[in-house]
Amino acid sequence: MEQQETKNDQVMYRTAGTSLIIILPPEVDDHNCKGIARDTEEYIKSRVVKRMVFDFTKTGFMDSAGIGVLLGRYKRMRELGGEVVVTGEDQRIERILKISGIYQIIRRI
């Protein structure tokens, strides 16, 4: 199983087999969401990605731009026959994901 780590704008990317794990920064907002969308698209184009895991372990804040990235990556992975999952949410992030309806389309692990 290959593992690779890169860091862009406080975001860590790790691959494990066909999974891309995105370790999100303390704040997920407009400032870094464009980079996350761009970087994940590069991973999709350069290797086989069947599962995208958004790890919120280090994240305490997320705005609507973060919801937009999750929705965009969900749609993209669905086109490719893959899935998006989330993990590591604290109570604040969990509340945001519940209110936004993300949990109705993206599952938690």
pLDDT digits (tens, 9 = 90+) for 66-105: 999 999 999 999 999 999 999 999 999 999 999 999 999 9
**Dist. CA 22–CA 56, nearest whole Å:** 9
Structure confidence by residue, pLDDT tens digits, 26-58? 999 999 999 999 999 999 998 889 999 999 999
Residue 4 has pLDDT above 80, yes or no: no
What do you get for the CA distance between the two ends of the chain, in Å? Answer: 20
Taking residues 1-14, report their average pLDDT: 72
Q: What is the pLDDT of residue 1?
A: 46
